[in-house]
Structure 1
Amino acid sequence: MNCEEVKEKVNIRTVLESFSLFPVKENRKTALYFALDREEKIPSFSVDFVKNKAFDFGTGKSYDVISIVQQMNRCSVSDALKYLEKFDFSVQNHIRIEDTVQVKNYQIIKVNEIKHPALIQYLKSRKVCEQKDLVKQIEYMLNGKKYFGIGFFNNSGGVEIRSKYSKICLGKKDVTLIKNDLNTSNEIVVFEGFFDYLTFKNLESAESSISDCLILNSTAMLFRVEESLKEYDRISLFLDNDPNGNATRETIQKKYKNVEDCSLVYKDFIDLNEWFCMNTTENKF
């Protein structure tokens, strides 16, 4: 690919994740990260996922995927293009990232049941408050300040933190595989984020409740479970309807047999949770 094709086709979020850079605050279209080239307490690196570009408010510098790699690797454009070859989703739909912590200088203070009114309200806004026992209230210190959020643990002991104002991971990024001892049919249901998993738990039928569940916590984590997925006779996908989700879905469909794409249920929405929040029906899968 040439420079323009790389800037258009390679997803900026995935490139940032390859350097273990993740949002401090995020919404559907944009996110704030800590700066690439300096330590800071207030995030100033703004990423536009729609335009696939970023802007550093601290320096006034604009970035695309190529210049991000140049900044992080201190390399030329040609070397950046070589680095980005592995992100060409037409060839390879997933990446490998190093096992490093996502957020530095953090400390988990308390792990409790969800009790804080703000967190309960956030779960209600996402219409998954019925599943609050599947997540935890996490109090933590980050860069000298105290925060709290909804926590969901992964297989490496890292914690996905979500609240109205933040979307980060404390510790090592990994998938969350939830095994069901009653899974006699050898089926697995795959989600991109844990809010979709919580939504599924709201909707699941008695038949689907025996399946194992895999929450990727990031499409970049697919490589961790490539071998494990071979063990299943049936794979049901509830991935996002966006470039990352589409690419990951295509990879799984090409590599494994008996794969069902369940995103058709919410084809006009980004993900299962957004669809559920916009609909009041109580249909069961």
Structure 2
Amino acid sequence: MNCKQFNSVKLEEILVSLGHHPTKQNEKEAWFLNPFYTETQASFKINKNLNYWYLHSEGIGGNNVDFMKKYLNASVKEVLEWAEKQNFSSFQQQNVIHSINSKPNYQITEIKKLQNEHLKSYLHQRGLSKVVYPLVKEIHFTIGEKKLYAIGFENFSGGWELRNSFYKGSLQKKDISIVNLNNENQNETGKRIVVFEGFMDALSFVEMKPFFIGDLLVMNSISLLNRTKEHLKIYSEIHLFLDNDKAGETCKNEILKSFPEAKNHSEIYALHKDLNDYLQFKNNTEIEKKQQIDLKSKQEQEESEINQAHQTYRRKR
């Protein structure tokens, strides 16, 4: 997605996906409370015809890219990377108009158990072992003329989140994913769930806590926040492992506002972007320690052999 494409998405939809709703609106404009800071009177206005925003309390405004740069405190590149992960319906509608009466340029050719060694190696690089293999699939697909394969994580609507060492995307309909771990039939008054933004973080949790009993919810996009909150209503125990960035912080706060009893665990990986980043760091640290121990042991063994050789030489003299 480039700047022109992202700026064509309805700004109202972006704000709602982030948990901000208009206090008043008409055909031409919509008013919101300041999304950057706390305020009691709406000073953030959207011109619906121009798809531009203006913040009266600060005297600033602009397009979608300008808004997300300030909201995420990020560069244009980082904003577009964030936008690429979302599932904005107003952007999809434009794509549908473009490709009306034409077939999608992708096709899933095979879905099977994870077997490909390159994909297994990719998971290993992300700190994940065969413990997580049953939770994913190996997806073979084509995009245009390209034949590709990736690790697939299924969502509620039968769509797939896809990852390999050089590709990150999704196919078919975007939706949240729910996974029940260890086949427990939780009762209605004791249901527990753990919430993540992406499936790599969910797999990291399974890697770290393979005997956890309960459900995992993967949002797959923070634009699915409202869908997530709707599903969380049936759970009495909610645990949050969201990303340590502006979008993750906003998402966490919106969930805690609706479910004050939910527990946030992001302090566990406070120095890292997300749970998977923390797991990789933890694994690399343990490997480094083991290497240091092995090196020390080897050095001690070599010193011992040298000393023994020296003593033998002295006895011969």
**Length-normalised TM-score, structure 1:** 0.64
Aligned length in residues: 210
Q: 1:251 aligns with which of 246, 254, 263?
A: 254
Q: 2:238 aligns with which of 230, 235, 258?
A: 235
Structure showing greater Rg: 2
Match of 1:98 in 2: 89
CA offsets per residue over residues 19-61 of structure 1, 9 Å max, x none?
Answer: 8xxxxxxxxxxxxxxxxxxxxxxxxxxxxxxxxxxxxxxxxxx
Whole-Å separation in 2 of the counterparts to 1:236 and 1:203: 15
Q: How far 1:183 moved relative to its partner?
A: 2.5
| Root mean square deviation, CA, Å | 3.5
Q: 1:189 aligns with which of 190, 194, 215?
A: 194
CA offsets per residue over residues 179-229 of structure 1, 9 Å max, x none?
Answer: 4543242111001111111111111164xx221110011111112122221
Match of 1:200 in 2: 205
Residues 124/96 of structure 1: CA separation in 2 closer, same or farther (3 Å cut): closer
Whole-Å separation in 2 of the counterparts to 1:215 and 1:257: 20
- The correspondence of residues 128-143 of structure 1 with structure 2, limited to 5 A, is 128-130=128-130, 131-143=132-144
Whole-Å separation in 1 of the counterparts to 2:245 and 2:146: 34
Whole-Å separation in 1 of the counterparts to 2:136 and 2:236: 29
Residues 227/77 of structure 1: CA separation in 2 closer, same or farther (3 Å cut): closer
Residue identity opposite 1:192 in structure 2:
E
Q: How far 1:76 moved relative to its partner?
A: 3.1
| Kept after mapping to 1: 8 A contact 2:139/2:152 | yes
* Higher helix fraction (1 or 2): 2
SS in 2 for 1:178: strand
Residues 257/78 of structure 1: CA separation in 2 closer, same or farther (3 Å cut): closer
Q: How far 1:255 moved relative to its partner?
A: 1.1
Residues 136/253 of structure 1: CA separation in 2 closer, same or farther (3 Å cut): same
Q: How far 1:98 moved relative to its partner?
A: 2.6
Extract structure 1 runs of 4+ deviating beyond 6 A: 79-83, 86-90
Match of 1:224 in 2: 227
Whole-Å separation in 1 of the counterparts to 2:52 and 2:282: 48
CA offsets per residue over residues 242-280 of structure 1, 9 Å max, x none?
Answer: 111111001111111311111111000001011011113
Whole-Å separation in 1 of the counterparts to 2:186 and 2:135: 19
CA offsets per residue over residues 94-126 of structure 1, 9 Å max, x none?
Answer: x98439599941100011122222111101101
Residue identity opposite 1:76 in structure 2:
L
- The correspondence of residues 48-63 of structure 1 with structure 2, limited to 5 A, is none
SS in 1 for 2:89: coil
Whole-Å separation in 2 of the counterparts to 1:136 and 1:17: 34
Match of 1:173 in 2: 174
Match of 1:121 in 2: 121
Residue identity opposite 1:116 in structure 2:
N
Q: How far 1:156 moved relative to its partner?
A: 0.8
Residues 138/244 of structure 1: CA separation in 2 closer, same or farther (3 Å cut): same
| Kept after mapping to 2: 8 A contact 1:141/1:147 | yes
Match of 1:263 in 2: 266
Residues 96/139 of structure 1: CA separation in 2 closer, same or farther (3 Å cut): closer
Match of 2:149 in 1: 148
2:247 pairs with 1:273: no
SS in 2 for 1:254: helix
